[in-house]
Structure 1
């Protein structure tokens, strides 16, 4: 299983998720497409379709450009929350979120993935 984690920043929760450098190995190859669809399953078994593309720049990086904001709003994500994306067998992806705040029950995170 390949995965990566990222602490969410303001651009991540307001516009798009920028993948950390080096996470490309966990993602499908673009096969010449400008935007590819990354299908990801959350803990509730909901499949999310995220549009993923390479953002040009001095250091090109992968970003989620569509579908991501709907996920952020649905899950109530904020700065400091941690997103973990993992690749399971084949082309199957799962997403998990850990909250940055301490919950009243004493738990330090909420998992949104099996």
Structure 2
């Protein structure tokens, strides 16, 4: 189930990615652990690499998680650019339990449109 879709901006690519905290509230403790003034979010990519993003909590009218540590490494590894799309999914597998997955759509509007249509986003 897709819980977050973002068309990447210059700030997303160069510095940090912000997620609405409410989208991750129900996440399991093993995937999202508190400590060091922030959160650790573990996410698997499309080839099975586990990424550990350290997030800080930004307060405000709508609290957000800012992915700080690990995000730029992900951006570089995936060679992301402005206009690419990421989709964060929450997947409840009967064998492995609840976990997060991240998908990347690199400037291919047809692939992303197909994903949106299939998942009703």
Shared fold (TM-score, shorter chain, > 0.5): yes
1:1-114 matches, within 5 Å, as 1=1, 3-20=3-20, 22-25=22-25, 27=27, 33=35, 34-89=37-92, 90-101=97-108, 108=111
Across the aligned residues of Structure 1 and Structure 2, the Cα RMSD in angstroms comes to: 2.6
Bigger strand fraction: 2
Secondary structure class of the residue paired with 2:82? coil
TM-score (norm: length of structure 2): 0.71
Give the gaps of 5 or more residues in structure 1: none
Q: Which runs of 5+ in 2 are unaligned?
A: 116-121
Alpha-carbon contact 1:3-1:26 (below 8 Å) kept: no
Between structures 1 and 2, the one with greater helix share? 2
Alignment coverage as a number of residue pairs: 106
Which stretch of structure 1 is more off in the superposition, 20-29 or 43-52? 20-29
State the secondary structure of the residue aligned to 1:23: helix
Q: Structure 1 runs of 4+ off > 6 angstroms? A: none
Deviations 1:51-106 (A, max 9, x none): 0121134543111011000000000101111111111123411110112246xxxx
